[in-house]
Structure 1
């Protein structure tokens, strides 16, 4: 009578063989491969989005700003000596002049309004709300401006390079308005409208004057807070036939 060792047979039947283990490792490898490809694809898409946001939008905005700037200067040339009347009103989207800030580089077309669609055109817009800006040709008040810091021209990208005493020049059809930076606020709430006040007391001024305020987002690549620079008018110069810039921006 033979005796069968059932315990050994059970262990033999239930133990996975080499082929089973290889199959399991193959499935895991396939899953890892798919996940890797998805991560790579996601990384590529994110990279393309960054390129679009920080480079291509700059290209498009600068092209539009250059075209609009050329149109403004052409219109000024057609107006001839004397330029526009001091009480002239401007429609939204119409260029009113140019901002020159040597520490930020280049010139920036100024238009009316700070809506995103307007600022996306690679310009600096002057506020119409929540506090209405007072253009320099209107006399005392605060000429408050906003521009993008990243993407869409990024005209205020280097605002952090500005220092007290730096010149800020606004060029209009017939006048150069020369300001000097007197105060900087590197970070404040985006809801802080006091920085736009006609007399910006938060900047340390308490008397009516002719001020300019530059505002943009901070930190870079975010819109959580606002970076503020204040300047005060120190003089004006009439534009000559050659449009000779004031000494501060030559």
Structure 2
């Protein structure tokens, strides 16, 4: 009986170059999958989480507004024009921008740190210039929000044009602003755009301004863009919280 030659059934040896090419292809595929997962996490999952957090925070703020404000012990009740000071993380109100969509609403909080903006809100700057509040007699209400991921509340900020209305809603009043100018691109460290009298804006002296900032170009953080507006009027809040004409 003839015996089998092991060389006849042994698997052929692959050329080292083919092995290397195959391993490199597997590596590229793995890297591609990981990058796709990273993009999905950054642009989809973080939006879902941020929108959920922002929705819950907005509900809590509106519920707190439904309860009459109690003044501190021994102090007079705050007036509509001068609410008590806000600390980092506190919710101030809401930003409405009709040009960015029907029902567009963004919760405004104090602070622009990563944790605050990750919650899908617009953050009021605390440094290098402290943002004014809408009820202040003068100053710049300077806000920042993400353009992509984490709610992407300012994703379409580049759509705003001079003349577009912007409305800030607080517990007691509506503040109606009008876009006066936009800055398509500036350096990340250009802090002058959020100064009390914004550098590069058409304003030449103190006033009541609103500045919105975000990253540009889209899907990057290479530069910053800014939108500048000035206060047109303010309206007291009625019992039904009827919005101003710009939001109707």
Query: For the residues of structure 1 that align with 2:199 and 2:112, how far apart are their CA atoms?
Result: 22
Q: Provide the residue aligned with 1:46 in structure 2.
A: 35
| Aligned partner of 1:150 among 148, 151, 159 | 148
Contact 2:80–2:173, Cα closer than 8 Å, also in 1: no
Q: Distance in 2 between matches of 1:133 and 1:84?
A: 19
- Residue from 217, 222, 225 that aligns with 1:224: 222
From 20, 26, 37, the equivalent of 1:31 is 20
Hey, what does 2:82 align to over in structure 1? 86
Superposition pairs of residues 138-217 of structure 1, within 5 angstroms = 138-217=136-215
**Structure 2: gaps spanning 5 or more residues:** 1-10, 70-77
Q: Is the 8 A contact 2:180 2:202 kept in 1?
A: no
Partner Cα separation in structure 1 for residue 155 and residue 25 of structure 2 = 36
SS of match in other structure, 1:214: strand
Question: CA deviation digits over 1:148-197, x for unaligned, max 9?
Answer: 00110111000011111000000000100000000000000111111111
Q: Does 1:97 align with 2:93?
A: yes
Equivalent pairs counted in the alignment come to 229
Cα RMSD (Å) of the superposition? 1.9
The answer to whether the 8 A contact 2:120-2:152 is kept is yes
Larger radius of gyration: 1
User: C-alpha offsets along residues 121-144 of structure 1, whole Å, 9 cap, x if unaligned?
Assistant: 100011110011111112211000
Is 1:57 matched up with 2:63? no
What TM-score comes out, normalization by structure 2 length?
Answer: 0.87
Q: Is the 8 A contact 1:134 1:140 kept in 2?
A: yes
1:67-78 aligned at under 5 Å gives the runs 67-78=56-67
Residue aligning to 1:5 = none
TM-score (norm 1): 0.87
Q: Is the 8 A contact 1:126 1:143 kept in 2?
A: yes
3-state DSSP class of the match of 1:203?
Answer: coil
* d(CA) in 1 for partners of 2:127, 2:17: 59
Name the counterpart of 1:19: none
